[in-house]
Amino acid sequence: MSEHHQEPHHGLALGSILGALLAISPTIIGLIVVLAGLLGIGPQAKHDAPVIDNAAIEERIKPVAEVAIAAPIAAPGQGKSGEQVVTAICSACHAVGALGSPKIGDAAAWGPRIAQGYETLVKHAINGIRSMPPRGGSTSLSDEEVAGAVAYMANKAGAHFKAPPSK
Ligand code: HEC
Protein backbone atom coordinates (compact mmCIF):
# COMPACT_ATOMS: atom_id res chain seq x y z
CA MET A 1 0.00 0.00 0.00
CA SER A 2 2.75 2.28 0.97
CA GLU A 3 4.77 1.23 -2.10
CA HIS A 4 1.82 1.93 -4.33
CA HIS A 5 1.55 5.21 -2.69
CA GLN A 6 5.25 5.99 -3.22
CA GLU A 7 5.56 5.10 -6.93
CA PRO A 8 3.33 7.71 -8.47
CA HIS A 9 4.90 10.22 -6.15
CA HIS A 10 8.36 9.16 -7.33
CA GLY A 11 7.32 9.32 -10.95
CA LEU A 12 5.87 12.71 -10.44
CA ALA A 13 9.06 13.97 -8.86
CA LEU A 14 11.18 12.66 -11.74
CA GLY A 15 8.73 14.05 -14.23
CA SER A 16 8.80 17.46 -12.70
CA ILE A 17 12.63 17.51 -12.65
CA LEU A 18 12.71 16.57 -16.35
CA GLY A 19 9.97 19.08 -17.00
CA ALA A 20 11.92 21.77 -15.23
CA LEU A 21 15.07 20.91 -17.21
CA LEU A 22 13.12 21.03 -20.43
CA ALA A 23 11.58 24.30 -19.40
CA ILE A 24 14.88 26.02 -18.69
CA SER A 25 16.83 24.50 -21.60
CA PRO A 26 15.86 27.29 -24.02
CA THR A 27 17.16 29.70 -21.42
CA ILE A 28 20.43 27.80 -21.20
CA ILE A 29 20.76 27.69 -24.97
CA GLY A 30 19.95 31.34 -25.12
CA LEU A 31 22.62 32.11 -22.57
CA ILE A 32 25.19 30.14 -24.52
CA VAL A 33 24.32 32.01 -27.70
CA VAL A 34 24.57 35.35 -25.95
CA LEU A 35 27.86 34.41 -24.32
CA ALA A 36 29.23 33.17 -27.64
CA GLY A 37 28.18 36.43 -29.22
CA LEU A 38 29.90 38.40 -26.46
CA LEU A 39 33.07 36.36 -26.85
CA GLY A 40 32.96 36.94 -30.55
CA ILE A 41 32.62 33.34 -31.63
CA GLY A 42 29.03 32.86 -32.73
CA PRO A 43 27.64 33.49 -36.20
CA GLN A 44 26.77 36.99 -35.00
CA ALA A 45 30.44 37.86 -34.68
CA LYS A 46 30.70 37.92 -38.48
CA HIS A 47 27.89 40.42 -38.56
CA ASP A 48 29.93 43.55 -39.15
CA ALA A 49 28.47 47.00 -38.63
CA PRO A 50 27.85 48.83 -41.92
CA VAL A 51 31.07 50.43 -43.08
CA ILE A 52 30.85 54.21 -43.04
CA ASP A 53 33.14 55.74 -45.60
CA ASN A 54 34.22 58.90 -43.81
CA ALA A 55 36.36 60.07 -46.68
CA ALA A 56 33.46 59.91 -49.10
CA ILE A 57 31.17 61.77 -46.72
CA GLU A 58 33.79 64.44 -46.10
CA GLU A 59 34.24 64.82 -49.82
CA ARG A 60 30.51 65.31 -50.29
CA ILE A 61 30.06 67.91 -47.55
CA LYS A 62 33.38 69.62 -48.22
CA PRO A 63 32.16 72.81 -49.89
CA VAL A 64 29.64 73.39 -47.10
CA ALA A 65 32.07 72.44 -44.35
CA GLU A 66 34.76 74.75 -45.67
CA VAL A 67 32.32 77.60 -45.71
CA ALA A 68 30.79 76.84 -42.34
CA ILE A 69 33.92 76.24 -40.31
CA ALA A 70 35.63 79.44 -39.41
CA ALA A 71 37.90 78.79 -36.48
CA PRO A 72 38.73 81.55 -34.07
CA ILE A 73 42.15 82.80 -35.05
CA ALA A 74 43.18 85.00 -32.18
CA ALA A 75 42.71 85.17 -28.46
CA PRO A 76 40.71 88.27 -27.45
CA GLY A 77 42.93 91.29 -27.16
CA GLN A 78 45.35 90.15 -29.82
CA GLY A 79 44.38 92.05 -32.93
CA LYS A 80 45.06 90.40 -36.27
CA SER A 81 45.96 92.38 -39.32
CA GLY A 82 43.50 92.66 -42.18
CA GLU A 83 45.63 90.32 -44.23
CA GLN A 84 45.77 87.73 -41.43
CA VAL A 85 41.99 87.83 -40.98
CA VAL A 86 41.36 87.56 -44.69
CA THR A 87 43.75 84.64 -45.01
CA ALA A 88 42.29 82.79 -42.05
CA ILE A 89 38.59 83.60 -42.41
CA CYS A 90 37.34 85.64 -45.32
CA SER A 91 39.29 83.89 -48.06
CA ALA A 92 37.27 80.73 -47.41
CA CYS A 93 34.59 82.39 -49.52
CA HIS A 94 36.14 85.48 -51.03
CA ALA A 95 39.17 83.73 -52.54
CA VAL A 96 36.92 81.71 -54.81
CA GLY A 97 33.75 83.78 -54.94
CA ALA A 98 31.79 81.19 -52.96
CA LEU A 99 28.04 81.86 -52.55
CA GLY A 100 28.35 84.77 -54.96
CA SER A 101 30.80 86.69 -52.80
CA PRO A 102 32.96 89.32 -54.54
CA LYS A 103 36.27 87.66 -55.31
CA ILE A 104 39.44 89.11 -53.85
CA GLY A 105 41.14 91.24 -56.53
CA ASP A 106 38.08 91.26 -58.81
CA ALA A 107 37.67 94.98 -59.43
CA ALA A 108 34.45 94.52 -61.41
CA ALA A 109 32.81 92.58 -58.59
CA TRP A 110 34.06 94.94 -55.89
CA GLY A 111 33.47 98.21 -57.78
CA PRO A 112 29.79 98.71 -56.93
CA ARG A 113 30.40 97.50 -53.39
CA ILE A 114 33.33 99.85 -52.85
CA ALA A 115 31.08 102.66 -54.15
CA GLN A 116 28.89 102.15 -51.08
CA GLY A 117 31.70 103.52 -48.97
CA TYR A 118 34.01 101.99 -46.44
CA GLU A 119 31.73 102.46 -43.44
CA THR A 120 28.81 100.71 -45.11
CA LEU A 121 30.98 97.81 -46.21
CA VAL A 122 32.37 97.42 -42.70
CA LYS A 123 28.87 97.56 -41.26
CA HIS A 124 27.73 94.85 -43.70
CA ALA A 125 30.78 92.73 -42.90
CA ILE A 126 30.14 93.03 -39.16
CA ASN A 127 26.39 92.48 -39.30
CA GLY A 128 26.27 90.26 -42.34
CA ILE A 129 24.33 90.84 -45.54
CA ARG A 130 22.38 88.20 -47.48
CA SER A 131 24.73 85.14 -47.80
CA MET A 132 27.57 87.03 -46.12
CA PRO A 133 27.61 85.84 -42.49
CA PRO A 134 28.28 88.35 -39.70
CA ARG A 135 32.05 88.70 -39.25
CA GLY A 136 32.51 86.01 -41.89
CA GLY A 137 31.12 83.53 -39.37
CA SER A 138 33.99 84.13 -36.95
CA THR A 139 32.20 85.89 -34.10
CA SER A 140 35.37 86.26 -32.06
CA LEU A 141 36.72 88.85 -34.52
CA SER A 142 36.72 92.41 -33.20
CA ASP A 143 35.14 95.24 -35.20
CA GLU A 144 38.65 96.51 -35.93
CA GLU A 145 39.77 93.15 -37.25
CA VAL A 146 36.74 92.94 -39.56
CA ALA A 147 37.29 96.53 -40.70
CA GLY A 148 40.92 95.75 -41.40
CA ALA A 149 39.93 92.74 -43.45
CA VAL A 150 37.39 94.77 -45.43
CA ALA A 151 40.05 97.38 -46.23
CA TYR A 152 42.53 94.71 -47.22
CA MET A 153 40.10 92.99 -49.62
CA ALA A 154 38.62 96.20 -51.05
CA ASN A 155 42.08 97.71 -51.58
CA LYS A 156 43.09 94.60 -53.52
CA ALA A 157 40.27 95.50 -55.90
CA GLY A 158 41.25 99.15 -56.33
CA ALA A 159 39.92 100.90 -53.20
CA HIS A 160 42.08 103.09 -51.01
CA PHE A 161 40.51 102.48 -47.65
CA LYS A 162 42.51 103.09 -44.53
CA ALA A 163 41.85 100.48 -41.87
CA PRO A 164 41.54 101.61 -38.27
CA PRO A 165 44.47 100.59 -36.07
CA SER A 166 43.84 97.10 -34.76
CA LYS A 167 43.54 96.91 -31.00
C1 HEC B 1 30.62 82.04 -45.85
C2 HEC B 1 31.22 82.78 -46.91
C3 HEC B 1 31.81 84.14 -46.58
C4 HEC B 1 32.80 84.42 -45.68
C5 HEC B 1 33.57 83.45 -44.80
C6 HEC B 1 33.02 85.82 -45.78
N7 HEC B 1 32.17 86.37 -46.68
FE8 HEC B 1 32.04 88.33 -47.15
N9 HEC B 1 30.57 87.93 -48.49
C10 HEC B 1 30.06 86.68 -48.72
C11 HEC B 1 29.01 86.79 -49.71
C12 HEC B 1 28.20 85.65 -50.25
C13 HEC B 1 28.92 88.14 -50.03
C14 HEC B 1 27.95 88.79 -51.02
C15 HEC B 1 26.69 89.13 -50.23
C16 HEC B 1 25.69 89.80 -51.12
O17 HEC B 1 25.90 90.97 -51.45
O18 HEC B 1 24.69 89.16 -51.45
C19 HEC B 1 29.91 88.83 -49.26
C20 HEC B 1 30.12 90.18 -49.30
C21 HEC B 1 31.03 90.85 -48.55
C22 HEC B 1 31.24 92.28 -48.57
C23 HEC B 1 30.48 93.27 -49.42
C24 HEC B 1 29.25 93.71 -48.67
C25 HEC B 1 28.45 94.74 -49.45
O26 HEC B 1 27.80 95.54 -48.80
O27 HEC B 1 28.46 94.71 -50.68
C28 HEC B 1 32.23 92.55 -47.67
C29 HEC B 1 32.78 93.91 -47.34
C30 HEC B 1 32.63 91.30 -47.10
N31 HEC B 1 31.89 90.30 -47.64
C32 HEC B 1 33.62 91.17 -46.16
C33 HEC B 1 34.00 89.97 -45.58
C34 HEC B 1 35.01 89.88 -44.56
C35 HEC B 1 35.78 91.04 -43.99
C36 HEC B 1 35.11 88.57 -44.26
C37 HEC B 1 36.02 87.91 -43.23
C38 HEC B 1 35.98 88.46 -41.91
C39 HEC B 1 34.15 87.85 -45.07
N40 HEC B 1 33.51 88.75 -45.87
C41 HEC B 1 33.95 86.49 -45.01
C42 HEC B 1 30.46 85.50 -48.17
C43 HEC B 1 31.42 85.38 -47.19
CATH of the domain at 64: 1.10.760.10
Over the stretch 99-113, which tens digit does the pLDDT of each residue have?
Answer: 999 999 999 999 999
16-20, 43-47, 83-87, 135-139, range with the lowest pLDDT: 43-47
CA nearest to 142, candidates 167, 113, 115: 167
For atom 32 of ligand 1, which residue has the closest CA?
Answer: 125
**39 and 104 inside one domain:** no
The total number of structural domains in the chain stands at 2
**72 and 109 inside one domain:** yes
**12 and 37 inside one domain:** yes
**92 and 32 inside one domain:** no
50-54, 127-131, 138-142, range with the lowest pLDDT: 50-54
Which is higher by pLDDT, 88 or 167? 88
**145 and 79 inside one domain:** yes
Examine residue 165 and state whether it is found in any structural domain, yes or no.
no
**101 and 29 inside one domain:** no
Model pLDDT, residue 45 = 46
Determine the structural domain holding residue 136 and report its residue range.
54-156
State the pLDDT confidence band at 41, using cuts at 50, 70 and 90.
low
Q: Does 68 sit in the ligand 1 pocket, CB within 6 Å?
A: no
Torsion region of 122: left, alpha or beta (phi above 0 gives left; psi -120 to 50 gives alpha): alpha
* Average pLDDT of span 44-63: 65
State the pLDDT confidence band at 164, using cuts at 50, 70 and 90.
confident
d(C-alpha 113, C-alpha 135), whole Å: 17
CA of 50 to the centre of ligand 1 (A): 41
d(C-alpha 113, C-alpha 139), whole Å: 23
**139 and 80 inside one domain:** yes
C-alpha distances (whole Å) from 56 to each of 4, 52, 60, 68 are 80, 9, 6, 18
Over the stretch 58-81, which tens digit does the pLDDT of each residue have?
Answer: 777 665 555 555 555 555 556 899
Q: Does 148 sit in the ligand 1 pocket, CB within 6 Å?
A: no
Residue 158: pLDDT over 50: yes
